[in-house]
Amino acid sequence: MHTYLFVDGLDLISRSDSGGVGMGPEQLLRPGGPLYPTDAARSVCLACQEQSDLGGSAGLRIRVRLRGETVVWSELMYPGLDHGVIEEVRFHLGQYLGEIERAYRLHAR
């Protein structure tokens, strides 16, 4: 099973690291799971490889945190439409939680 993560229509995992394998939806999306925001920022590995050429783990990691009513993903570093680098995306908390819950019901069977 593959997990696809889209932000503004862009598949972050395949665009950022096509060799990475991440957690399944039942792990990423579960209530209180890695993608649920908290006041304390945390790093979430979306597509990680066990070993890189540099000797450590590699892949796509993001920082997830809650700022008021906004969920912030940072440390993205993917190319935007204007060819600039996108480092952060923001989501309205209610919409974000609703989408995570919908996706969890869909995938965690």
Query: Is the pTM above the cut of 0.95?
Result: no
Range of the domain at 75: 6-107
In a domain, 82, yes or no: yes
Instruction: Give the whole-angstrom CA distance, residue 103 versus residue 11.
Output: 16
| DSSP 8-state class, residue 18 | T
Of 96, 61, 66, 91, the C-alpha closest to 76 is 61
- In this prediction, residue 2 carries a pLDDT of 46
User: Coil, helix or strand for 27?
Assistant: helix
- The rounded Cα 85 to chain-centroid distance in angstroms is 17
In a domain, 47, yes or no: yes
In a domain, 56, yes or no: yes
In a domain, 84, yes or no: yes
| DSSP 8-state class, residue 52 | -
How many independent structural domains does the chain possess?
1
In a domain, 17, yes or no: yes
What number of other Cβ atoms are within 10 A of residue 71's Cβ?
22
Q: What percent of the chain has pLDDT over 70?
A: 61
Confidence of residue 46 (pLDDT cuts 50, 70, 90): confident
In a domain, 1, yes or no: no
